[in-house]
Structure 1
Amino acid sequence: MGHPVYGSTSSPQPLARGSGQWLLVAAGDPDTADLLTTTLELAGYRTGAAGGGAEVARRLVAQRFDLVVMDAELPGMDDLAQGRFKPAYRPPVLLLAGCESLARLVPEIGAGERDYVTKPFRIAEVLARVKVLLRDAGDGGRRGGRLDHADLALDDGTCRARRGGRTLDLTPAEYRLLRHLLVNAHKVLSKEQISRYVWGEFRGDNAIEQLVSRLRRKVDPGGPALIHTRRGFGYWLGESPEDA
């Protein structure tokens, strides 16, 4: 299996950097594991590595890691799901997943904060998502919790969202956008703020408008609009704004 990555560590924008946190890289492909560990260490993190589910379990029991970067196709995933190990601390998890496997969960490790990067992944996006997950965990976050506003609810434990009685079929980017809006309810977020949270970089060419439009079509039908535009400023989530 070749490198599931596009691009390189070069970028017109500064890459997100760490400050010595311990990250466990769990990937069955040695080339992918080497690429990730080398890049993360150059970015200021300390790393450990595991090539299978049983080894991940042993490493988490033996040492406290701040975050796990895990390939969703890691061999031995059943060893994690069966819950035979009891780590004292359950770190946030960044899954590297193909679009066809995004529904796969890692309940024993990922009981708290969890995010996805789709394969083939870009290094800049991996570094950006790692930084956000570590920040949320360090702030106390909403690990394993539930975000809600009016009849809209988002469950970080299962990466699912509902509005009223409807389950929302969201892509990873739509999920991240909705989460960012919910955490910052009633606060206007600029296109650049949203883009850097969702993708780890600023994207032009109407990328944000298109993403917001897709999310609105899933969230707002059949109920009062919750996602609004503040023209010239950005987007926000809330109820019955006077200037919607």
Structure 2
Amino acid sequence: MPHILVIEDDEITAREIVLELAAHGISADRVHDGQQGFQRALEPHYDAITLDLMLPGMDGLTLVKQLRERGIATPVLMISALGDVDERVRGLRAGGDDYLTKPFAPDEMAARIEVLLRRHQQQHPAQTKLRVADLELDVITRTARRGSRELTLLPTEYRLLEFLMRYPGQVLTRAMIFESVWGLRFDPGTNLIDVHIARLRRKVDNEGEPPIIRTVRGSGYRLG
């Protein structure tokens, strides 16, 4: 299921966007200000973003420009009020992928998001083989190897390893892992992730091999 970030400070508009996306089989998280939206947009598990231009904290133009400067290629649908033609053009030049004016038909918004998702998938096809150091994962055969030995992974361990390997060197928080691997909202009181990481680490990091799954204290985990 595609996962969208909705950055919108108007409660009614945000609710319309989230409900319409859900009707199209697309899940969405919503934040109401630009600064928080920017921090969430840095997370790797969003497939697209709807972005209001006029936001508290950080305006939409600044937000999308800073995302592109950091190499974040997540497609962005910019949303603006009628009459902001110059702002929309500036937004597309800053790195937005499409724009929509308020008021808009919710089904048109969802259709534009679906187009952005398809276009992004065509431009950035998913890798079928992931490699980090001597660790390799084949997403077609769903097999994993470290060096010359094959790893026997349970389904959740496989999903966890695949998620880690898609973002090598990047610190992935427990919330990001929980939402992406289990598809659930993160519960700070659970040790589920730590248990599965420990099991996966025992299979991936044999004695005598350099550890490849690393704990980043207070933050999460990093591969490589």
Q: TM-score scaled by structure 1? A: 0.43
More helix by percentage? 2
Larger Rg: 2
Q: TM-score scaled by structure 2? A: 0.47
